[in-house]
A and B are shown apart, each in its own frame.
Chain A
Amino acid sequence: MNINKLLIWSSAVLVGSFSIYSLIGHGDEVDYSSQVKPILNRSCIKCHGGVKKQGGFSVLFREDALGKTKSGKSAIIPGDPEHSEFITRLTHKDLEERMPYQAEPLSKDEIELLTKWVKQGAKWGEHWAFTAPEMPNIPNKNFFASFTDWFSPKWEKNNIDYFVADKLVKENLKHSQPADKGTLLRRVCLDLTGLPPTEQQLTDFLHDKSENAYGKAVEKLLASPQYGERWAGMWLDLARYSDTKGYERDDQRSIWKYRDYVIDAFNQNMPYNQFIKEQLAGDLLPHPTDNQLIATGFHRNSMTNDEGGTDNEEFRTAAVLDRTNTTWEVLQGTTFACIQCHSHPYDPFRHEDYYKYMAFFNNTRDEDSYGDYPHLRLFQKEDSAKVMSIKNWIQKNSSVSKANEYAKFLKTWQPTYNSLSCDEFVKSELSDTKFLGMQNGGSSRLKNVDLNGKNQMIFRYNSSKVGGTFTIHIDKIDGEILLTTKLDTTKGYQSKQVFFKSVNGIHNLYFKAINPNLKGKEDYTAYFDWFGFLSKFPAKNNPEHDLMQKEFWRLANISTDITLIMDENPQNLHRKSNVFERGNWTAKTKEVQPDIPTLFGGLPKILPKNRLGLATWIGSEQNPLTARVAVNRFWEQLFGIGLVETMEDFGTQGFTPSNPELLDYLSIKFMKEYNWQPKQLLREIVLSATYQQDSKVTPEMLETDPVNRFFARGARVRLSAEQVRDQALLVSGILSHKMHGKSVMPYQPTGIWGAPYSGISWKQSEGEDQFRRALYTYWRRSSPYPSMMTFDGTSREICLARRLRTNTPLQALTSLNDPVYVECARYFAKRMDNEKMDINGQIRKAYSLAMSKEISNDKLLILNNLYQKSLIDFKQKPNEAMKFLGYCEDNSIKPKKMPDLAAKTMVAMTILNLDEFVMKE
């Protein structure tokens, strides 16, 4: 043992004795959070909480609980239980008066406890999850223990195990044996990369007899690109990532670049707090990179509504509410949605807290527009360089701010005004509630346009009618004319550039359209998408001016791939935020400023009161929830159950942690030592003895700990929908390892998509794109990929923090009959057949490829019997064998060989359906 270790351990002893001292120091003071709050939550808060306050009495906040009730008196008088009605009513003789009302009375012990609590001053305490974690001492890891370790080999491999072992003793459980090597490798491969080991990985591992063989395997997995794909799969659920908009016609949306960002962030081991900051507020970072803009797609994954007649502001508001709820659900593990309508029924959040928080998200440019603006335009390499060169040229010949203005416009078409924000329609309207349409002589208004320093308008419109003119008046319908321009006919939507004489200030603009050629009086001369205003293109006299301006215009108009991003409103478009009465967005009351809930003491002064400030606070050590929620989620992904089982609710109604010290230990380590980097955290977990245990269950274990809350055994849980597919593809040898890019459309039966008015259709991908990992499958909200849904995927309309696992006959039908799985079985059979062995050898091989371990003789016999029976059957019906193999592309199979291959396919299919195959063991 070296000196360092000794030092750490002796200080651990010191810390340990300190906490024992502090425990004694408090004597037998009643603890609010662990002793009183559970009783209040169970028996009182339903009628005296954040929603109902019977008799004017509520026990949610201390000030309310001690305040005057309807009777004019206080129900709780600290120090005086005899005169506190809160206590006396518990034993009242009149049943109408006795509390809890019309329910079982509290037990004698409980009444005693509450009496004592009031006597001691009715002190409030904070729920554990809302106070910062503290580094606990590591149980039983002390000098004495380390001394005995020299004599007997210890089970514990790292600190996690000391916490687990301590809990196991208290729960009267014993840890399990280590899992066998193959099973362990399969487990850790699935957990870290979402894929089972390849044949090579397995052989390497089994042959590596060094002490650190497992550790080496773990390092390789953490470094593999598949690692990022696996964890992106988890994150995309939380981000409610989807390739479509959501409502009604549920049309296409281009945001796949965000998926690439998530994959890369995990692979680069980006610190989790940086990951949060970029996703919530990448656009507000100084000089954001394209990737940081792409990251803001996180909250652009909320749904938009294209249905004709829908109110864009209603669905913009719905998206903002969704962002607020998702932020809490994903990052804070706290149910915030319920205080949209009233104060939290159980947790100390007030109604107003919700709207202050929502105010952070209420000032972005997106407005439920049909174009899903704003976008980041993804230029090809060459054009991207040209954008940079224009930016640099402007910077050199003018100013940094002008360079930024032009570069931003090229990259995002922002800031622009969506035509859907127009009003005062006369012979014009928001056609299909999407685009401003104008008739001959029609007019409309666009409010609050910033014309400071501007001399040109760029607008996007669509016209099929010859002879239209468009005029803009300033401030009044007949005010001074800003500009007049011809509305040339277009091919679909196109942009046009018009110059005008500078007019400073913020103005309301009045649009007028004239087109005497229109025959029907209700015809529209044009439809408008958006209007943008730019300052003068600089350096008129520079010889390169014309060329640069031409190049700017070309780049502004070329069609590019896009991805949805966040962009903050400029000052002139700032939206006020209000409390909604009972959650109703049309009933706006008090105006509020952005802030975090009062419980957390308000946003620290040094932080800006915007999304960036919020994101910084969320990712800081001052936030008591972020690290715990993250650690818990990673833990759950590996063990199938979190240290806090209700991952989505760390509040007082959620489950208390099964091992609070372990949760806090890992959280603090994650923040301080690991600098929020997930790979380090995952490494520590998978290297623990706890993780490496066998997953067999004894009846005793099932009795004491049916769901494995205390981790006396390894995890045995069904694979996720993504893993079920990826594993089948890998084992049968057809998985494509191609990474990144647009979503793909693997085989899907016809007639699955049936949304009305929608122009998109399922076109099966070709080549290797049919066999990509599940996370690349096109995700349509109104109609997600069927087998994903059958295996408990979510439709990603809103964020669901936890997938519940079910076990249904539809899952069996999918892995038995879905042509994707049938095809896997055929390829898997060919893979078996390629082995130069007898049938038993081939079955052995196939089983080992699938399960990473040797088959037992009895299982081998069952599969061999199935092979023999199938062979006889297919030999009698060779045509059936041919049909059965029909999907195989390759025609090289000789007819004579077919019954044999078909029988092997039966065996392969059986293996792909085994319980042990769809389970992680």
Chain B
Amino acid sequence: MKIHQEAHKHFVEYETRRHFLKQCTTGIGMMAMGSFLESCGINNVSADALAKAQNPLSPKNPPFLGKAKSVIYIHTAGAPSQLEMFDYKPELQKMDGLPCPASFLEGKKFAFIRGVPNMLGAQAKFSQVGKSGAWLSDNLPHLQTVADEISFLKAMHTDQFNHAPAQLLMHTGSPRLGRPAMGSWVTYGLGSENQNLPGYVVLASGGRNPDAGKSAWGSGFLPSVYQGVQCRSEGDPVLYLTDPDGMSRDLRKSSIEAINKINQKQYEEFHDPETIARISQYEMAFKMQTSVPEVMDIKNEPKYIHEMYGTELGKESFANNCLLARKLVENGVRFVQLFDWGWDAHGTGEGDSVKVGVKRKCMETDQATTALLIDLKQRGLLDETLIVWGGEFGRTPMQENREGRVLAYKGRDHHTDAFTIWMAGGGIKKGYSHGETDPIGYAGISGRTSTYDLQATILHTLGFDHEKFTYPFQGRNFRLTDVQGKVINAVLG
């Protein structure tokens, strides 16, 4: 089955469902928003308007027209090695095994490197691919085929060299806890297109949450309704979605109807608008109980899609999450945040060496990441979906010598001065490479891009001026980019 066949199948399903909603007034369709309130005697128009005004997630227009409508942010937690994936440095290869020149170490602080480490050449082969001639390593055979869709930011830098603070900086604009995540800002600014699904969904793979914990998708000082909802691959995809054992859907419906009818009486007595909001929240909860499992269920996807992504049914996997990300944005979710844990590559064992560990993580993710790009494109969604891929910092061109020892496997320490992030889709230039690092890949020499610049650019593609998109808290207007950040115009399409 190919994409057009799939489209036809969906159309048929859609028609059937519409028929069901129209004809079966006793079915779930009767509970569509507003209709219930109307049947309770509240004027339909005003009730609907009221419910919308009360709903902080109603879709809103950005200040200017952005090209992207939704975001899929793939965070490779642990910080992938740009030197084994994107940043081709033949000079570094020549210096492999030589002591690091003092000039690179003076006044610098590393998480684990002590004294004078040795240089470490790339542990992968590179080649130029596509019309754009992007350099990619053989760790990424699939991504090589779509490089022409992508803008690479090769001179990224950050100022945090530990995982948790750097992840927080990347997602919240501050290395300390307590600020809203990017996805919270975006759903605060744009609301969500589908009220039956959370507007900001988080999916994690790699067996762990990121180091920064739930704060990486916390709403900080924004109302908690804007915090990311972590959808889980085991148990309820959203907490408490399933009715208790033994309760039928029909009984659930009856109970919610009873709740809402009594709340309606309460409203008539107290006239508190909050009560109306609660009535619509219960309706929405009821609808989420069907819509969330539906969208989170990938079983019914056609076989060719499963093959394309390399999904593993019934398991927590990055490939499954990529497919879910596509389904979620297709269904109007505003911000999908993927975390894939396990990219740290210190070389303390074979599993976290740049040779074996990085290669393994690439193998786990390369196909699915590429499939996501292709799949969004073939559905016409890539133009309006921004994809961002990257870690929280880069890795050193030197081999890590933790506690001054030579480690048994080749690894690299955390590095703030150079790493690669790529963007594709909504509002982003195709087949482009921005910025360049010095010949050994230690630091950017042109097109240096900070985490704030990246955030400013993401907000720009969605239609926000990052300097004007603020929220008052503790006496000042806070923004995602704090007091920094410039939009990188060069990567805008």
Contacts and interface: CB of A to CB of B under 8 A. Distances in A.
Contacts of A808: 224-225, 281
A71 interface: no
A795 B218 contact: yes
Interface in A800-816: 800, 804, 806-814, 816
Interface in B221-257: 221, 223-225, 227, 229, 232, 234-236, 238-248, 250-252, 254-256
A110 to B, nearest CB: 23
Contacts of A800: 221
Contact of A804 (B223, B271, B404): B223
Interface string A867-885: 0011001000101111111
Interface stretch (A117-125, A229-237, A547-555, A858-866): A858-866
B263 interface: yes
B289 to A, nearest CB: 8
A816 B236 CA distance: 14
Interface in A217-265: 246-250
B284 A866 contact: no
A845 B144 CA distance: 70
B23 interface: no
Contacts of A859: 262, 265
A329 B239 contact: no
Given A807-B277, A884-B247, A329 B258 contact: no
A611 interface: no
Interface string B253-282: 011101101110111011111110111011
A667 B430 CA distance: 64
Given A308-B111, A699-B271, A782 B215 contact: yes
A810 B263 contact: no
B308 interface: no
B208 to A, nearest CB: 5
Given A247-B164, A309-B414, A812 B215 contact: no
A749 B261 contact: no
A839 interface: no
A916 interface: yes
Contacts of B238: 810, 813
A645 B378 CA distance: 52
Interface stretch (A459-467, A499-507, A646-654): A646-654
Contacts of A695: 270, 272
A818 B248 CA distance: 16
B35 interface: no
Given A804-B223, A862-B261, A915-B278, A754 B209 contact: yes
B211 A756 contact: yes
A816 B244 CA distance: 9
Nearest to B284: A809
A518 interface: no
A30 interface: no
Nearest to B213: A782
Contacts of B109: 311
A507 B238 CA distance: 60
B213 A809 contact: no
A886 interface: yes
Interface string B185-222: 00000000000001000001000111111110010010
B54 interface: yes
A353 to B, nearest CB: 14
A870 B246 contact: no
Contact of A883 (B245, B274, B483): B245
A869 B248 CA distance: 12
A859 B273 CA distance: 20
B209 A702 contact: no
A856 B265 contact: yes
Of A341, A696, A806, most buried by chain B (CB within 10 Å of CB) is A806
Nearest to A649: B475
A653 B475 contact: yes
A657 interface: no
Interface string B169-188: 00000001110000000000
Interface stretch (A194-202, A487-495, A682-690, A905-913): A905-913
A345 B275 contact: no
B111 A309 contact: yes
Contact of A346 (B212, B235, B475): B475
B466 to A, nearest CB: 18
Contacts of B4: none
A248 B403 contact: no
A902 B246 contact: yes
Contact of A909 (B224, B241, B255): B255
Of B240, B246, B273, most buried by chain A (CB within 10 Å of CB) is B240
A749 B235 CA distance: 9
Contact of B204 (A754, A792, A865): A754
B239 A813 contact: yes
A870 B258 CA distance: 12
A906 B271 contact: no
Given A797-B178, A804-B224, A806-B56, A786 B254 contact: no
Interface in B143-176: 161-165, 176
A440 interface: no
Of A247, A335, A883, most buried by chain B (CB within 10 Å of CB) is A247
A341 B474 CA distance: 14
Of B54, B178, B248, B405, most buried by chain A (CB within 10 Å of CB) is B178
A309 B218 CA distance: 25
Contacts of A698: 271
A755 B341 CA distance: 11
Interface string A633-675: 0000000000000001101011000000000000000000000
B259 to A, nearest CB: 5
A783 interface: yes
Given A346-B475, A429-B403, A755-B209, A906 B214 contact: no
B21 interface: no
A811 B240 CA distance: 10
Contacts of B259: 910, 913-914
A224 B215 CA distance: 37
A626 interface: no
A873 B250 contact: yes
A750 interface: yes
A419 to B, nearest CB: 15
Contacts of A697: 270-272
A795 B263 contact: no
Interface in A148-167: none
B8 interface: no
B215 A885 contact: no
Contacts of A782: 209, 213-215
A307 interface: yes
A751 interface: yes
A810 B476 contact: no
B30 interface: no
Given A429-B403, A882-B246, 18 more contacts: A246-B177, A335-B476, A522-B403, A653-B476, A716-B270, A749-B236, A783-B209, A806-B56, A807-B274, A807-B281, A810-B238, A812-B281, A859-B265, A863-B258, A873-B248, A873-B251, A880-B246, A916-B263
Nearest first, the 9 closest Cβ-Cβ pairs linking A and B are A782-B213, A309-B111, A884-B246, A335-B475, A883-B246, A797-B177, A812-B285, A754-B209, A809-B285
Interface of A: 246-250, 303, 305, 307-311, 318, 329, 334-335, 337-338, 341, 344-347, 427, 429, 431, 437, 522, 648-649, 651, 653-654, 695-699, 702, 716, 718, 749-751, 754-756, 781-784, 786, 789-790, 792, 795, 797-798, 800, 804, 806-814, 816-819, 822, 856, 858-859, 862-863, 865-866, 869-870, 873, 877, 879-886, 902, 906, 909-910, 913-916, 918-919, 921
30 contacts: A248-B211, A249-B211, A303-B177, A310-B165, A329-B474, A335-B475, A335-B476, A337-B474, A345-B475, A696-B269, A699-B271, A702-B273, A716-B274, A749-B236, A750-B234, A754-B208, A755-B209, A806-B224, A807-B54, A807-B278, A816-B285, A817-B242, A817-B243, A818-B239, A866-B255, A880-B246, A883-B246, A910-B262, A914-B262, A921-B270
